[in-house]
Protein backbone atom coordinates (compact mmCIF):
# COMPACT_ATOMS: atom_id res chain seq x y z
CA UNK A 1 0.00 0.00 0.00
CA UNK A 2 1.40 3.37 -1.01
CA UNK A 3 2.03 5.75 1.86
CA UNK A 4 0.79 9.34 1.42
CA UNK A 5 3.51 11.85 0.65
CA UNK A 6 4.59 14.01 3.59
CA UNK A 7 3.22 17.56 3.49
CA UNK A 8 5.34 20.29 1.98
CA UNK A 9 7.07 22.71 4.39
CA UNK A 10 4.56 25.48 3.69
CA UNK A 11 1.71 23.05 4.34
CA UNK A 12 3.30 21.99 7.63
CA UNK A 13 3.52 25.60 8.74
CA UNK A 14 -0.11 26.16 7.80
CA UNK A 15 -1.18 22.99 9.64
CA UNK A 16 0.74 24.08 12.72
CA UNK A 17 -0.97 27.48 12.57
CA UNK A 18 -4.40 25.80 12.45
CA UNK A 19 -3.47 23.61 15.42
CA UNK A 20 -2.30 26.64 17.39
CA UNK A 21 -5.52 28.49 16.59
CA UNK A 22 -7.55 25.47 17.68
CA UNK A 23 -5.68 25.30 21.00
CA UNK A 24 -6.09 29.06 21.45
CA UNK A 25 -9.82 28.81 20.78
CA UNK A 26 -10.28 26.05 23.36
CA UNK A 27 -8.27 28.02 25.94
CA UNK A 28 -10.31 31.14 25.15
CA UNK A 29 -13.55 29.29 25.80
CA UNK A 30 -12.10 27.80 29.00
CA UNK A 31 -11.10 31.28 30.20
CA UNK A 32 -14.51 32.70 29.28
CA UNK A 33 -16.30 29.92 31.20
CA UNK A 34 -14.19 30.52 34.31
CA UNK A 35 -14.63 34.28 34.02
CA UNK A 36 -18.38 33.85 33.72
CA UNK A 37 -18.52 31.76 36.90
CA UNK A 38 -16.42 34.38 38.69
CA UNK A 39 -18.74 37.31 37.94
CA UNK A 40 -22.05 35.37 38.05
CA UNK A 41 -23.59 35.34 41.54
CA UNK A 42 -25.62 32.14 41.22
CA UNK A 43 -24.61 28.93 42.92
CA UNK A 44 -24.55 25.72 40.87
CA UNK A 45 -27.98 24.12 40.94
CA UNK A 46 -29.05 20.57 40.28
CA UNK A 47 -30.95 20.81 36.97
CA UNK A 48 -32.14 17.20 36.95
CA UNK A 49 -31.57 15.78 40.44
CA UNK A 50 -28.25 14.34 39.25
CA UNK A 51 -26.28 15.25 42.38
CA UNK A 52 -28.47 14.08 45.22
CA UNK A 53 -25.70 11.75 46.44
CA UNK A 54 -23.09 14.50 46.83
CA UNK A 55 -24.04 15.67 50.39
CA UNK A 56 -24.08 12.16 51.88
CA UNK A 57 -20.85 11.17 50.09
CA UNK A 58 -19.19 14.38 51.26
CA UNK A 59 -20.10 13.57 54.86
CA UNK A 60 -19.01 9.95 54.41
CA UNK A 61 -15.55 11.10 53.33
CA UNK A 62 -15.00 12.50 56.82
CA UNK A 63 -14.36 8.87 57.83
CA UNK A 64 -13.70 7.02 54.56
CA UNK A 65 -12.65 3.72 56.13
CA UNK A 66 -15.70 3.50 58.36
CA UNK A 67 -17.97 4.52 55.48
CA UNK A 68 -16.27 2.42 52.80
CA UNK A 69 -19.47 0.49 52.10
CA UNK A 70 -21.42 3.68 51.37
CA UNK A 71 -18.63 5.14 49.22
CA UNK A 72 -18.20 1.96 47.17
CA UNK A 73 -21.96 1.53 46.99
CA UNK A 74 -22.23 4.83 45.16
CA UNK A 75 -20.43 3.24 42.20
CA UNK A 76 -23.46 0.98 41.78
CA UNK A 77 -25.80 3.92 41.17
CA UNK A 78 -26.39 6.11 38.15
CA UNK A 79 -23.86 8.99 38.13
CA UNK A 80 -22.45 7.58 41.36
CA UNK A 81 -18.80 7.79 40.32
CA UNK A 82 -19.28 11.41 39.28
CA UNK A 83 -21.01 12.30 42.55
CA UNK A 84 -18.10 10.71 44.40
CA UNK A 85 -15.59 12.63 42.29
CA UNK A 86 -17.34 15.92 43.09
CA UNK A 87 -17.51 15.04 46.80
CA UNK A 88 -13.75 14.44 46.80
CA UNK A 89 -13.26 17.77 45.02
CA UNK A 90 -15.32 19.53 47.69
CA UNK A 91 -13.11 18.02 50.38
CA UNK A 92 -9.94 19.10 48.59
CA UNK A 93 -11.00 22.57 47.40
CA UNK A 94 -13.52 23.52 50.04
CA UNK A 95 -17.25 23.30 50.42
CA UNK A 96 -18.51 25.78 47.88
CA UNK A 97 -19.20 26.26 44.18
CA UNK A 98 -15.57 26.07 43.01
CA UNK A 99 -15.36 22.29 42.32
CA UNK A 100 -18.60 22.41 40.33
CA UNK A 101 -17.50 25.49 38.37
CA UNK A 102 -14.11 23.97 37.57
CA UNK A 103 -15.77 20.72 36.51
CA UNK A 104 -18.22 22.55 34.22
CA UNK A 105 -15.44 24.50 32.49
CA UNK A 106 -13.24 21.41 32.21
CA UNK A 107 -15.95 19.28 30.59
CA UNK A 108 -16.71 21.93 27.97
CA UNK A 109 -12.99 22.16 27.17
CA UNK A 110 -12.65 18.38 26.92
CA UNK A 111 -15.69 18.22 24.66
CA UNK A 112 -14.15 20.82 22.33
CA UNK A 113 -10.82 18.99 22.44
CA UNK A 114 -12.50 15.74 21.48
CA UNK A 115 -14.34 17.39 18.59
CA UNK A 116 -11.06 18.94 17.40
CA UNK A 117 -9.17 15.63 17.54
CA UNK A 118 -11.85 13.65 15.72
CA UNK A 119 -12.29 16.25 12.96
CA UNK A 120 -8.54 16.75 12.56
CA UNK A 121 -7.78 13.05 12.21
CA UNK A 122 -10.80 12.44 9.98
CA UNK A 123 -10.07 15.45 7.79
CA UNK A 124 -7.31 17.98 8.40
CA UNK A 125 -6.09 20.54 10.95
CA UNK A 126 -8.37 23.06 9.23
CA UNK A 127 -11.33 20.73 9.75
CA UNK A 128 -10.35 20.44 13.42
CA UNK A 129 -10.39 24.22 13.78
CA UNK A 130 -13.73 24.59 11.96
CA UNK A 131 -15.38 21.84 14.02
CA UNK A 132 -14.10 23.35 17.27
CA UNK A 133 -15.42 26.80 16.32
CA UNK A 134 -18.84 25.37 15.43
CA UNK A 135 -19.09 23.39 18.67
CA UNK A 136 -17.97 26.44 20.68
CA UNK A 137 -20.67 28.51 18.95
CA UNK A 138 -23.49 26.20 20.10
CA UNK A 139 -25.49 27.45 23.10
CA UNK A 140 -26.27 23.82 23.88
CA UNK A 141 -22.56 23.21 24.48
CA UNK A 142 -21.25 26.44 25.98
CA UNK A 143 -24.33 27.91 27.68
CA UNK A 144 -25.58 24.60 29.09
CA UNK A 145 -21.95 23.89 29.98
CA UNK A 146 -22.10 26.67 32.56
CA UNK A 147 -24.52 24.53 34.56
CA UNK A 148 -23.85 21.03 35.91
CA UNK A 149 -25.91 19.63 33.02
CA UNK A 150 -25.09 15.93 33.04
CA UNK A 151 -25.17 15.56 29.25
CA UNK A 152 -22.13 17.80 28.79
CA UNK A 153 -19.70 15.37 30.51
CA UNK A 154 -21.58 12.54 28.81
CA UNK A 155 -20.87 14.06 25.39
CA UNK A 156 -17.27 14.91 26.31
CA UNK A 157 -16.48 11.35 27.39
CA UNK A 158 -18.25 9.86 24.36
CA UNK A 159 -16.39 11.98 21.80
CA UNK A 160 -13.04 11.35 23.51
CA UNK A 161 -13.74 7.61 23.31
CA UNK A 162 -14.32 8.07 19.58
CA UNK A 163 -11.01 9.97 19.28
CA UNK A 164 -9.11 7.13 20.97
CA UNK A 165 -10.75 4.47 18.81
CA UNK A 166 -10.22 6.54 15.66
CA UNK A 167 -6.45 6.73 16.16
CA UNK A 168 -6.05 3.02 16.86
CA UNK A 169 -8.99 1.16 15.32
CA UNK A 170 -7.06 -2.09 15.37
CA UNK A 171 -6.32 -1.67 19.13
CA UNK A 172 -2.65 -2.34 18.55
CA UNK A 173 -1.66 -0.60 21.82
CA UNK A 174 -2.69 -1.64 25.29
CA UNK A 175 -3.11 1.98 26.34
CA UNK A 176 -5.82 2.29 23.69
CA UNK A 177 -7.53 -0.78 25.15
CA UNK A 178 -7.39 0.69 28.64
CA UNK A 179 -8.63 4.13 27.52
CA UNK A 180 -11.52 2.64 25.53
CA UNK A 181 -12.54 0.27 28.31
CA UNK A 182 -12.44 2.97 30.98
CA UNK A 183 -13.94 5.78 28.89
CA UNK A 184 -16.84 3.71 27.59
CA UNK A 185 -17.59 2.37 31.08
CA UNK A 186 -17.62 5.91 32.52
CA UNK A 187 -19.99 7.11 29.79
CA UNK A 188 -22.35 4.16 30.30
CA UNK A 189 -22.50 4.50 34.08
CA UNK A 190 -22.68 8.30 34.09
CA UNK A 191 -26.23 8.34 32.76
CA UNK A 192 -28.60 5.79 31.30
CA UNK A 193 -28.45 7.56 27.94
CA UNK A 194 -24.70 6.90 27.78
CA UNK A 195 -25.54 3.32 26.86
CA UNK A 196 -27.36 4.59 23.77
CA UNK A 197 -24.35 6.55 22.49
CA UNK A 198 -21.83 3.79 23.19
CA UNK A 199 -23.94 0.99 21.69
CA UNK A 200 -23.21 1.83 18.00
CA UNK A 201 -19.46 1.73 18.63
CA UNK A 202 -19.52 -1.93 19.69
CA UNK A 203 -20.41 -3.43 16.26
CA UNK A 204 -18.02 -0.98 14.58
CA UNK A 205 -15.23 -2.23 16.84
CA UNK A 206 -15.97 -5.79 15.70
CA UNK A 207 -16.32 -4.71 12.08
CA UNK A 208 -12.97 -2.90 11.91
CA UNK A 209 -11.18 -5.40 14.11
CA UNK A 210 -7.74 -5.47 12.48
CA UNK A 211 -5.31 -8.39 12.82
CA UNK A 212 -6.51 -11.65 14.40
CA UNK A 213 -4.69 -11.13 17.69
CA UNK A 214 -6.53 -7.80 18.14
CA UNK A 215 -9.78 -9.70 18.74
CA UNK A 216 -8.78 -10.52 22.29
CA UNK A 217 -8.32 -6.82 22.99
CA UNK A 218 -11.60 -5.90 21.32
CA UNK A 219 -13.43 -8.53 23.36
CA UNK A 220 -11.73 -7.21 26.50
CA UNK A 221 -13.10 -3.70 25.78
CA UNK A 222 -16.57 -5.07 25.05
CA UNK A 223 -16.47 -7.15 28.23
CA UNK A 224 -15.70 -4.03 30.28
CA UNK A 225 -18.55 -2.20 28.60
CA UNK A 226 -20.89 -5.13 29.13
CA UNK A 227 -20.04 -5.26 32.82
CA UNK A 228 -20.69 -1.54 33.18
CA UNK A 229 -24.17 -1.93 31.67
CA UNK A 230 -25.30 -3.83 34.76
CA UNK A 231 -25.91 -0.60 36.67
CA UNK A 232 -27.97 1.27 34.03
CA UNK A 233 -29.70 -1.91 32.83
CA UNK A 234 -31.19 -2.47 36.29
CA UNK A 235 -32.72 1.01 36.20
CA UNK A 236 -33.30 1.36 32.47
CA UNK A 237 -36.94 0.26 32.47
CA UNK A 238 -37.85 2.73 35.20
CA UNK A 239 -35.91 5.46 33.37
CA UNK A 240 -37.68 4.78 30.07
CA UNK A 241 -41.09 4.63 31.75
CA UNK A 242 -40.47 8.01 33.34
CA UNK A 243 -39.43 9.46 29.99
CA UNK A 244 -42.46 8.02 28.22
CA UNK A 245 -44.70 9.22 31.04
CA UNK A 246 -43.50 12.77 30.43
CA UNK A 247 -43.84 12.54 26.64
CA UNK A 248 -47.19 14.29 26.38
CA UNK A 249 -46.01 17.11 28.65
CA UNK A 250 -42.83 17.52 26.60
CA UNK A 251 -44.88 17.57 23.40
CA UNK A 252 -47.18 20.35 24.61
CA UNK A 253 -44.61 22.51 26.43
CA UNK A 254 -41.52 22.28 24.22
CA UNK A 255 -41.05 23.72 20.71
CA UNK A 256 -40.97 21.52 17.63
CA UNK A 257 -37.78 19.78 16.49
CA UNK A 258 -36.51 22.39 14.04
CA UNK A 259 -37.26 25.29 16.38
CA UNK A 260 -35.38 23.55 19.21
CA UNK A 261 -32.50 22.72 16.89
CA UNK A 262 -32.07 26.32 15.78
CA UNK A 263 -32.36 27.72 19.32
CA UNK A 264 -29.78 25.26 20.63
CA UNK A 265 -27.38 25.94 17.77
CA UNK A 266 -28.12 29.63 17.00
CA UNK A 267 -28.86 30.56 13.39
CA UNK A 268 -25.30 31.14 12.11
CA UNK A 269 -24.13 27.79 13.53
CA UNK A 270 -27.15 26.00 12.12
CA UNK A 271 -26.54 27.46 8.65
CA UNK A 272 -22.80 26.67 8.79
CA UNK A 273 -23.48 23.06 9.84
CA UNK A 274 -26.06 22.57 7.07
CA UNK A 275 -23.61 24.03 4.55
CA UNK A 276 -20.94 21.66 5.83
CA UNK A 277 -23.21 18.63 5.50
CA UNK A 278 -24.04 19.60 1.92
CA UNK A 279 -20.38 20.05 0.99
CA UNK A 280 -19.43 16.82 2.73
CA UNK A 281 -21.91 14.86 0.63
CA UNK A 282 -21.20 16.40 -2.77
CA UNK A 283 -18.45 13.82 -3.32
CA UNK A 284 -19.44 11.39 -0.63
CA UNK A 285 -17.01 8.58 0.14
CA UNK A 286 -18.52 5.22 0.93
CA UNK A 287 -19.56 5.38 4.58
CA UNK A 288 -18.63 1.75 5.28
CA UNK A 289 -15.04 2.72 4.46
CA UNK A 290 -15.26 5.66 6.88
CA UNK A 291 -16.44 4.10 10.18
CA UNK A 292 -16.01 7.30 12.21
CA UNK A 293 -18.22 9.27 9.83
CA UNK A 294 -20.69 6.40 9.88
CA UNK A 295 -20.78 6.55 13.68
CA UNK A 296 -21.33 10.32 13.66
CA UNK A 297 -24.16 9.88 11.15
CA UNK A 298 -25.68 7.23 13.42
CA UNK A 299 -25.49 9.65 16.35
CA UNK A 300 -27.37 12.24 14.30
CA UNK A 301 -30.08 9.73 13.42
CA UNK A 302 -30.24 8.50 17.01
CA UNK A 303 -30.84 12.03 18.27
CA UNK A 304 -33.73 12.49 15.86
CA UNK A 305 -35.16 9.07 16.71
CA UNK A 306 -34.95 9.70 20.44
CA UNK A 307 -36.78 12.99 19.99
CA UNK A 308 -39.54 11.26 18.01
CA UNK A 309 -39.96 8.62 20.73
CA UNK A 310 -39.68 10.78 23.86
CA UNK A 311 -40.22 14.37 22.62
CA UNK A 312 -37.74 15.48 25.30
CA UNK A 313 -35.67 18.64 24.89
CA UNK A 314 -32.80 18.35 22.41
CA UNK A 315 -30.41 19.41 25.17
CA UNK A 316 -30.75 15.80 26.35
CA UNK A 317 -29.03 14.67 23.15
CA UNK A 318 -25.81 16.68 23.28
CA UNK A 319 -23.64 14.02 21.53
CA UNK A 320 -25.85 14.47 18.48
CA UNK A 321 -24.92 18.17 18.40
CA UNK A 322 -21.21 17.40 18.71
CA UNK A 323 -21.53 14.98 15.80
CA UNK A 324 -23.20 17.75 13.80
CA UNK A 325 -20.35 20.17 14.60
CA UNK A 326 -17.71 17.63 13.53
CA UNK A 327 -19.45 16.70 10.28
CA UNK A 328 -20.16 20.37 9.57
CA UNK A 329 -16.51 21.25 10.21
CA UNK A 330 -15.35 18.49 7.88
CA UNK A 331 -17.65 19.83 5.18
CA UNK A 332 -16.83 23.54 5.30
CA UNK A 333 -13.10 22.69 5.50
CA UNK A 334 -13.49 21.53 1.89
CA UNK A 335 -13.75 25.22 1.02
CA UNK A 336 -10.16 25.66 2.13
CA UNK A 337 -9.34 28.69 4.31
CA UNK A 338 -12.64 30.23 3.15
CA UNK A 339 -14.36 27.69 5.37
CA UNK A 340 -13.15 29.62 8.39
CA UNK A 341 -15.49 32.48 7.52
CA UNK A 342 -18.80 30.74 8.43
CA UNK A 343 -17.18 28.95 11.39
CA UNK A 344 -15.57 32.02 12.92
CA UNK A 345 -18.64 34.17 12.17
CA UNK A 346 -20.85 31.66 13.99
CA UNK A 347 -18.51 31.64 16.98
CA UNK A 348 -18.25 35.43 17.23
CA UNK A 349 -21.96 36.11 16.73
CA UNK A 350 -22.79 33.58 19.45
CA UNK A 351 -20.08 34.63 21.91
CA UNK A 352 -19.61 38.39 21.76
CA UNK A 353 -23.11 39.49 22.84
CA UNK A 354 -22.62 37.68 26.13
CA UNK A 355 -19.94 40.17 27.12
CA UNK A 356 -21.46 43.35 25.72
CA UNK A 357 -23.26 45.87 27.89
CA UNK A 358 -26.93 45.00 28.32
CA UNK A 359 -28.07 48.23 26.65
CA UNK A 360 -25.73 47.56 23.73
CA UNK A 361 -27.08 44.04 23.29
CA UNK A 362 -30.62 45.36 23.05
CA UNK A 363 -29.57 47.35 19.97
CA UNK A 364 -28.73 44.08 18.21
CA UNK A 365 -31.90 42.33 19.32
CA UNK A 366 -33.79 41.06 16.29
CA UNK A 367 -30.86 41.24 13.85
CA UNK A 368 -30.61 37.94 11.92
CA UNK A 369 -28.01 35.75 13.53
CA UNK A 370 -28.27 37.12 17.04
CA UNK A 371 -30.11 34.66 19.30
CA UNK A 372 -33.43 35.99 20.54
CA UNK A 373 -32.45 35.51 24.17
CA UNK A 374 -29.46 37.87 24.13
CA UNK A 375 -31.47 40.60 25.87
CA UNK A 376 -33.29 38.29 28.29
CA UNK A 377 -31.55 38.27 31.66
CA UNK A 378 -33.17 36.18 34.37
CA UNK A 379 -32.16 33.66 37.06
CA UNK A 380 -32.58 30.59 34.84
CA UNK A 381 -30.72 32.01 31.82
CA UNK A 382 -26.95 31.44 31.68
CA UNK A 383 -26.38 33.33 28.46
CA UNK A 384 -25.43 36.46 30.37
CA UNK A 385 -24.08 36.76 33.94
CA UNK A 386 -26.75 37.21 36.61
CA UNK A 387 -26.04 39.76 39.32
CA UNK A 388 -29.43 39.99 41.00
CA UNK A 389 -31.23 37.94 43.61
CA UNK A 390 -29.14 34.90 44.61
CA UNK A 391 -27.76 32.94 47.55
CA UNK A 392 -26.55 35.99 49.47
CA UNK A 393 -30.13 37.28 49.81
CA UNK A 394 -31.43 33.80 50.62
CA UNK A 395 -28.90 33.52 53.43
CA UNK A 396 -30.14 36.82 54.87
CA UNK A 397 -33.76 35.72 54.56
CA UNK A 398 -33.00 32.49 56.40
CA UNK A 399 -31.11 34.40 59.10
CA UNK A 400 -34.14 36.66 59.55
CA UNK A 401 -36.66 33.82 59.57
CA UNK A 402 -35.01 30.86 61.27
CA UNK A 403 -34.16 30.71 64.99
CA UNK A 404 -30.53 30.02 64.05
CA UNK A 405 -30.01 28.14 60.77
CA UNK A 406 -26.53 27.10 61.87
CA UNK A 407 -27.73 25.43 65.10
CA UNK A 408 -31.45 24.63 64.93
CA UNK A 409 -33.58 22.96 62.27
CA UNK A 410 -35.67 25.25 60.14
CA UNK A 411 -38.46 24.18 57.77
CA UNK A 412 -39.11 26.24 54.64
CA UNK A 413 -41.95 25.35 52.28
CA UNK A 414 -40.80 25.85 48.69
CA UNK A 415 -43.05 26.45 45.73
CA UNK A 416 -41.06 26.17 42.46
CA UNK A 417 -37.63 26.88 43.94
CA UNK A 418 -35.76 28.53 46.77
CA UNK A 419 -33.29 30.37 44.52
CA UNK A 420 -34.98 30.55 41.11
CA UNK A 421 -38.38 29.70 39.63
CA UNK A 422 -39.40 26.59 37.69
CA UNK A 423 -36.50 24.39 38.83
CA UNK A 424 -36.35 20.60 39.24
CA UNK A 425 -34.40 20.81 42.49
CA UNK A 426 -35.98 23.13 45.10
CA UNK A 427 -32.53 24.23 46.26
CA UNK A 428 -30.98 21.35 48.21
CA UNK A 429 -27.63 21.47 46.38
CA UNK A 430 -27.27 25.23 46.90
CA UNK A 431 -28.08 24.91 50.61
CA UNK A 432 -25.49 22.17 50.92
CA UNK A 433 -22.85 24.32 49.22
CA UNK A 434 -23.80 27.16 51.61
CA UNK A 435 -23.27 24.77 54.57
CA UNK A 436 -26.90 25.17 55.71
CA UNK A 437 -27.95 21.56 56.01
CA UNK A 438 -30.01 22.40 59.10
CA UNK A 439 -32.48 24.11 56.79
CA UNK A 440 -35.00 21.57 55.52
CA UNK A 441 -37.06 22.16 52.40
CA UNK A 442 -40.65 21.04 51.95
CA UNK A 443 -41.06 20.93 48.17
CA UNK A 444 -44.73 21.41 47.39
CA UNK A 445 -44.38 19.87 43.95
CA UNK A 446 -43.34 16.49 45.38
CA UNK A 447 -46.23 16.01 47.79
CA UNK A 448 -49.42 14.10 47.20
CA UNK A 449 -50.85 15.55 50.39
CA UNK A 450 -49.59 17.94 53.01
CA UNK A 451 -48.10 16.09 56.03
CA UNK A 452 -48.98 17.06 59.59
CA UNK A 453 -46.71 19.92 60.51
CA UNK A 454 -46.24 21.62 63.87
CA UNK A 455 -44.50 24.63 62.42
CA UNK A 456 -43.38 26.04 59.09
CA UNK A 457 -40.87 28.84 59.53
CA UNK A 458 -41.30 30.36 56.09
CA UNK A 459 -42.60 30.01 52.55
CA UNK A 460 -40.66 30.75 49.37
CA UNK A 461 -42.78 31.30 46.28
CA UNK A 462 -43.03 33.30 43.07
CA UNK A 463 -45.72 35.50 41.61
CA UNK A 464 -45.41 35.10 37.86
CA UNK A 465 -48.94 35.66 36.50
CA UNK A 466 -48.06 35.26 32.83
CA UNK A 467 -45.45 32.49 33.13
CA UNK A 468 -46.75 30.16 35.79
CA UNK A 469 -49.28 28.12 33.83
CA UNK A 470 -46.87 25.46 32.54
CA UNK A 471 -45.54 24.81 36.06
CA UNK A 472 -49.06 24.38 37.45
CA UNK A 473 -49.93 22.06 34.59
CA UNK A 474 -46.88 19.98 35.38
CA UNK A 475 -47.55 19.92 39.12
CA UNK A 476 -51.30 20.54 39.44
CA UNK A 477 -51.37 19.80 43.17
CA UNK A 478 -48.80 22.43 44.05
CA UNK A 479 -51.27 25.34 43.98
CA UNK A 480 -53.65 23.58 46.40
CA UNK A 481 -50.78 22.71 48.74
CA UNK A 482 -49.53 26.29 48.68
CA UNK A 483 -53.00 27.56 49.54
CA UNK A 484 -53.27 25.03 52.37
CA UNK A 485 -49.92 26.09 53.82
CA UNK A 486 -50.84 29.77 53.65
CA UNK A 487 -54.22 29.18 55.32
CA UNK A 488 -52.99 26.75 57.98
CA UNK A 489 -50.18 28.98 59.25
CA UNK A 490 -51.59 32.39 58.33
CA UNK A 491 -48.60 33.14 56.14
CA UNK A 492 -48.05 36.80 55.30
CA UNK A 493 -45.57 38.40 52.88
CA UNK A 494 -42.64 39.94 54.75
CA UNK A 495 -40.26 40.59 51.84
CA UNK A 496 -40.35 40.66 48.06
CA UNK A 497 -38.25 41.68 45.12
CA UNK A 498 -38.86 41.98 41.38
CA UNK A 499 -36.85 39.40 39.49
CA UNK A 500 -37.49 39.65 35.77
CA UNK A 501 -40.22 40.28 33.23
CA UNK A 502 -43.10 40.65 35.66
CA UNK A 503 -41.98 37.89 38.03
CA UNK A 504 -41.80 38.67 41.75
CA UNK A 505 -40.10 36.65 44.47
CA UNK A 506 -42.07 36.45 47.71
CA UNK A 507 -40.93 35.44 51.18
CA UNK A 508 -43.58 34.73 53.81
CA UNK A 509 -43.68 34.03 57.53
CA UNK A 510 -46.43 32.96 59.97
CA UNK A 511 -48.60 36.00 60.73
CA UNK A 512 -45.95 38.13 59.06
CA UNK A 513 -43.62 37.82 62.05
CA UNK A 514 -39.97 36.83 61.76
CA UNK A 515 -37.17 36.26 64.22
CA UNK A 516 -34.95 39.18 63.23
CA UNK A 517 -36.35 41.74 60.75
CA UNK A 518 -33.07 43.69 60.86
CA UNK A 519 -31.31 40.99 58.85
CA UNK A 520 -33.71 41.15 55.90
CA UNK A 521 -31.87 41.89 52.64
CA UNK A 522 -31.43 45.56 51.85
CA UNK A 523 -32.58 47.38 48.78
CA UNK A 524 -36.01 45.76 48.40
CA UNK A 525 -39.25 47.51 47.58
CA UNK A 526 -42.27 46.72 49.72
CA UNK A 527 -44.62 48.76 47.54
CA UNK A 528 -47.31 47.24 45.31
CA UNK A 529 -46.77 43.77 46.71
CA UNK A 530 -49.51 41.23 46.02
CA UNK A 531 -51.29 40.28 49.19
CA UNK A 532 -51.95 36.75 50.40
CA UNK A 533 -55.13 36.57 48.33
CA UNK A 534 -53.20 37.21 45.12
CA UNK A 535 -50.58 34.65 46.08
CA UNK A 536 -53.18 32.02 46.90
CA UNK A 537 -55.40 32.57 43.89
CA UNK A 538 -53.48 34.57 41.36
CA UNK A 539 -50.16 32.98 40.22
CA UNK A 540 -51.78 30.92 37.48
CA UNK A 541 -54.08 33.66 36.26
CA UNK A 542 -53.41 36.57 33.98
CA UNK A 543 -54.68 39.82 35.40
CA UNK A 544 -55.95 40.72 38.89
CA UNK A 545 -56.53 38.00 41.44
CA UNK A 546 -60.19 37.09 41.91
CA UNK A 547 -61.91 38.15 45.11
CA UNK A 548 -62.56 35.15 47.33
CA UNK A 549 -66.23 34.45 48.08
Map out the domains of the chain as residue ranges: 9-44+97-351, 391-537
Burial of 407 (0-12, 13-18, 19+ CB in 10 A): exposed
Spell out the per-residue pLDDT of the chain, length 549, in tens: 444 556 666 677 888 899 999 999 999 999 999 999 999 999 999 988 899 999 999 999 999 899 999 999 898 888 999 999 999 999 999 999 999 999 999 999 999 999 999 999 999 999 999 999 999 999 999 999 999 999 999 999 999 999 999 998 888 889 999 999 999 999 999 988 899 999 999 998 887 666 666 788 889 999 999 999 987 877 777 777 777 877 877 777 788 888 888 888 888 999 999 999 999 988 655 555 688 999 999 999 999 998 888 888 888 899 999 999 999 999 999 999 999 999 999 999 888 877 777 667 666 666 655 655 555 567 778 888 888 888 999 999 998 898 776 667 899 999 888 988 877 788 899 999 999 888 999 888 877 777 888 889 999 998 887 777 777 777 778 888 888 889 988 999 999 888 776 788 899 999 888 888 888 887 664 444 444 444 444 433 322 332 222
CB atoms inside a 10 Å sphere around CB 283: 7
Whole-Å CA distances, 303 to 117, 149, 470, 496: 22, 17, 25, 42
Smallest Cα–Cα separation from 400: which of 242, 518, 488? Answer: 518
Max Cα–Cα distance, the chain, nearest Å:
89
* Full-model pTM: 0.90
**pLDDT at position 234, please?**
76
**pLDDT at position 358, please?**
67
Buried b / exposed e along 233-246 (16+ C-beta atoms within 10 A): eeeeeeeeeebeee
Amino acid sequence: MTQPAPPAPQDRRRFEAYDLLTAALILTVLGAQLHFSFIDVRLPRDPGLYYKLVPSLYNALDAPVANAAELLGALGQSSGWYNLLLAVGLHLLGRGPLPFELACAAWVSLLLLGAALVARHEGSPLAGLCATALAAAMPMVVIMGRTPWIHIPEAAIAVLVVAVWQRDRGLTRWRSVAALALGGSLAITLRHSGLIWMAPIAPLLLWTGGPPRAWRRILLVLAAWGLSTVVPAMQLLQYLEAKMGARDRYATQLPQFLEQLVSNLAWPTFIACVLGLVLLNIRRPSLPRRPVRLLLAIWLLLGGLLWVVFRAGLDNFTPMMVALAILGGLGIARMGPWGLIPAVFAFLISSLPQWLDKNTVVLFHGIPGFPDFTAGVHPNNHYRPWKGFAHAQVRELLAATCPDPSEADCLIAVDQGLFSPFTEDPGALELFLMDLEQVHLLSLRDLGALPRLDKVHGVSTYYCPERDASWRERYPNSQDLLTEILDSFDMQVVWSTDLFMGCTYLWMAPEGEIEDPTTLPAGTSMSAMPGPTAVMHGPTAIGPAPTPR
